[in-house]
């Protein structure tokens, strides 16, 4: 498994950031049809996210909350159908002056069995994922700093 990590400082309290990243609203975007949890968000909660692809098809993604320490850590494990691999995504919140350092970590197998693997492919995938996570953190910063 590869560990991909990036971070940013957000001028908001850990409480405000945790409240948002651990909510179902944080999962919604233009591709999400619906998000449902099997109970309150806490350790062990299962989340089903229905996504519409650009081709109009719908897929259901199942995740489970595997890390939950209020105002400090929120992590989920997303279960994938082969040949893809499961993915662990974690937000780590650290007070930083008047704001919060938000660390976003992902653990994933970047080249699962059966997937073509060329030299440099894993590094290329890591760079693309970090760019996407940096954009996600920038959007989170903009939303929460308002």
Domains, the chain, in order of start with CATH, read 2-145 (3.30.530.20)
Task: State the pLDDT confidence band at 116, using cuts at 50, 70 and 90.
Answer: low
What is the reported pLDDT for 114? 66
Which pTM does this prediction carry? 0.88
Position 101 pLDDT exceeds 90: yes
Position 80 pLDDT exceeds 90: no
What is the reported pLDDT for 124? 85
**Phi and psi torsions of 46, nearest 5°:** -100, 135
Position 19 pLDDT exceeds 80: yes
Q: In 67-95, which positions are buried (b, 16+ CB within 10 angstroms) versus exposed (e)? A: bbeebebbbbbbeeeeeebebbbbbbbee
Is residue 47 within a helix (H) or strand (E), and if so which, with residue range? strand 46-52
> What is the arithmetic mean of pLDDT over 101-123?
80
Task: State the pLDDT confidence band at 55, using cuts at 50, 70 and 90.
Answer: confident
């Amino acid at each position: 498994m590869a560990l991909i990590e990036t971070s940013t400082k957000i001028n908001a309290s850990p409480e405000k950031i945790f409240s948002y990243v651990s909510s179902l609203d944080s999962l919604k975007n233009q591709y999400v049809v619906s998000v449902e949890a099997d109970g309150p968000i806490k350790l062990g909660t299962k989340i089903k996210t229905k996504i519409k692809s650009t081709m109009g098809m719908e897929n259901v993604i199942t995740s489970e909350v595997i890390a939950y320490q209020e105002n400090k850590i929120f992590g989920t494990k997303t279960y994938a159908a082969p040949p893809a691999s499961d993915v662990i995504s974690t937000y780590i919140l650290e007070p930083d002056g008047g704001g919060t350092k938000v660390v976003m970590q992902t653990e994933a197998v970047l080249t699962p069995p059966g997937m073509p693997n060329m030299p440099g492919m894993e590094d290329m995938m890591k760079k693309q994922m970090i760019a996407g996570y940096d954009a996600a953190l920038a959007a989170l910063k903009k939303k929460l700093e308002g």
